[in-house]
Amino acid sequence: MPAMVSNPLYEALQHAIRAIGSMIEQINTDVDRPSKMFHTGKVWTGPSAKQFEAQLTLLGTRTRTSGQAIMDELRQILGRTPSEVTEEEAASIKRRYGLP
């Protein structure tokens, strides 16, 4: 039986999940901050402000939904990816995806 080694694609996916997850959290924080400021009523008031706040809220919802969809997809792919492969398969994966 061939020797099994860590799957470089599995490791790359884990790294992507950590990196992208952190970025998505930062984006959500950055989008939520102005929305929270609007809710205080001290930033801008009036009909135009209400319309802008509604658009900002919609943007925040889209951002969170999109970020969650990205993370869900990455986790599904990771779940279908074996954590170990043969040395030959690992070398092929590295070549195919340009992994170190």
What pLDDT is stored for residue 91 in this prediction? 97
Q: How far apart are the first and last CA of the chain?
A: 25
Q: What's the whole-model pTM score?
A: 0.83
pLDDT at 2: 87
Q: Pinpoint the alpha helices (H) of the chain.
A: 8-39, 47-80, 87-97
Please say if the pLDDT value at position 87 is more than 90.
yes
Residue 53: pLDDT above 90? no
Each domain of the chain, given as residue ranges in start order, spans: 4-97
Give the model's pLDDT for residue 44.
82
- Mean pLDDT taken over the chain: 93
Two tokens at 36? 């929270």
Residue 43: is its pLDDT beyond 90?
A: no
